[in-house]
Structure 1
Amino acid sequence: MKVTLNRVNDNFHFELKNERGHIVNVDSRPEFGGNDMGPSPMELILMGVAGCSAIDMISILKKQRQEITSFKAEVDGERVQLGEAKPFKDIHVVFYLEGEINPEKAARAAQLSFEKYCSVSKTLEPTATVHYKVVLNGIPLTPDGESNNL
């Protein structure tokens, strides 16, 4: 796996390209000297967590013949000052699924993603804790798939 980076302007706008030719723009916010022409590298990490786990979950649920009509996720990262760097300490993921989906299967798909399959979250494990929850058809689920309507 390989990506290339090319600087686009005199600030922090970069174009990154993978071996298959897909392009992503990366930049920094204006308050940090950028022009806000793309997500920051740290935002890309959160996007990677969302995308990786979504692929896992949808793959698992499709194999179980679950009917997914909508799949969304929100990812929030909390950072901590560590010398000059600010790595993620905690990452919170909420999945919003709709459709004819067995609650136990939805909860298990999320668990398998984060405990076994998602390479992005596994890469972050040494420094960040990933917390997740599933909301199915508007109802929050417990880790075992039970309704968590409080």
Structure 2
Amino acid sequence: MKVTLNRINDNFHFELKNERGHLVNVDSRPEFGGNDMGPSPMELILMGVAGCSAIDMISILKKQRQEITSFKAEVEGERIQVGEAKPFKNIYVVFYLEGDIKEDKAAKAAQLSFEKYCSVSKTLEPTATVHYKVVLNGKKLES
């Protein structure tokens, strides 16, 4: 797996490309000298957690023949100061699922994603704790 980075302007706007040619723009907010032309690298980490776990959960639920009519996630990161850096300490994920899905299967899919399959959250495990909740058809499930 490999990505390349190309600087776009005189500040912090970069274009990143993977080996398959997919592009992502990255930038910094104006208060940090950027032009806000894309998500920050730390926001991309949160997006990675959301995307990775969503792929896991949908894959698991499809194999169990659960009918998903809507799938959304919200991910929020809590950072701490460590020297000059501010890594994530806690990441909070809320999944919103709708459809003909059994509660136990939705809860188990989320558990399996974070405990077994999601490479992004597994990469973050040494420094950040990922907390998650599942809301199925408007009802918060017990985790």
What TM-score range do you get, normalising by the shorter chain? over 0.9
Q: 1:27-85 CA deviation, whole Å, 9 max, x = no partner?
A: 00000000000000000000000000000000000000000000000000000000000
The structural deviation recorded for 1:128 is 0.1
Q: What's the Cα RMSD here? A: 0.1
The structural deviation recorded for 1:17 is 0.1
Percent identity over the alignment is 91
Q: 1:112-145 CA deviation, whole Å, 9 max, x = no partner?
A: 000000000000000000000000000xxxxxxx
The structural deviation recorded for 1:98 is 0.1
Structure 2: segments with no counterpart, 5+ residues: 139-143
Q: Which residue of 2 aligns with 1:66?
A: 66
The structural deviation recorded for 1:96 is 0.1
Q: Which residue of 2 aligns with 1:36?
A: 36
Given the two structures, how large is their TM-score scaled by the length of structure 2?
0.96
Distance 2:12 2:109 in 1: 38
Which secondary structure state, in structure 2, belongs to the residue aligned with residue 59 of structure 1? Answer: helix
Distance 1:65 1:28 in 2: 42
Which secondary structure state, in structure 2, belongs to the residue aligned with residue 91 of structure 1? Answer: strand
Distance 1:116 1:63 in 2: 16
Distance 2:103 2:57 in 1: 13
Distance 2:66 2:125 in 1: 29
Structure 1: segments with no counterpart, 5+ residues: 139-150
Distance 2:75 2:23 in 1: 22
